[in-house]
Each structure stands twice: as structure tokens, then as C-alpha cells.
Amino acid sequence: MKPQAKQPEHVERAQFAKRVQAALVARGMPVSATELQRAFNARNPELAISVHAARKWLMGESIPTQASLRELAAVLGERGFHQGGMSGLPGERDLLSVPAQA
């Protein structure tokens, strides 16, 4: 069996942005860079982000660093990050994984 080809980076970023937006909606939060920044910074002021960074995540212009990705998953309530600290890789994969095609 052939391994799956990696998708172009811009496609991965766009899919990531859609998943972040869907997670915000699922948590009852507005899809807003300002609100995402506030929630993120309230959770971990030492890893504070700018509104510009939050906008780039929501627009699919960038994907956060691994440390920021862990915090983002916790802010969005992704499983694995609440209880296990560094053992939160399943939640990280949830945000980064490509959704199944219907």
C-alpha cells in the first residue's frame, strides 16, 4: 500500500482554520480573533499571543507552534489537553488531522 501524499501547506492551513472556527462555534464562542486572543491569553498569560496571530490562525495564514497549539486545544476544549499536560497528543492530532470525507 502506498503512503498518503502530504497535502500542500496552504491546504493544511486552510483545513486547520476551518477546524479552529468549528471548535469556536461548538464552544459557543464567536469566530473572532479578538475573542480567541482574549481566551488564549486568559488561560496562559506567559504564552500570550497577539490579535494578529489569532487572526492568522483563523484565516489559515499560519499554524501555531507546538506550545501554542497545546494551549489552543485546551482553550477550545479538545480532548487530551485538560488532564494530561504533555500527554495531550490526541487533542493535538484532532486539531491538525484532516477530517474524513463524507
Residue 98 has pLDDT above 60, yes or no: no
Q: How far is CA 10 from its chain centroid?
A: 15
Q: What does the pLDDT look like over 58-90, one tens digit per residue? A: 999 999 999 999 899 999 987 533 333 333 344
Q: Per-residue pLDDT tens for 3-45?
A: 666 778 889 999 999 999 999 999 999 999 999 999 999 999 9
Confidence of residue 2 (pLDDT cuts 50, 70, 90): low
- What's domain 9-96's architecture? Orthogonal Bundle (1.10)
Whether 101 has a pLDDT exceeding 60, the answer reads no
The x, y and z cell numbers of residue 31, run together, are 469566530
pTM over 0.85: no
Q: By CB neighbour count within 10 A (0-12 exposed, 13-18 middle, 19+ buried), where does 72 fall?
A: buried
C-alpha cell at 66: 507546538
Question: CA-to-CA distance for 73 and 82, rounded, in angstroms?
Answer: 9
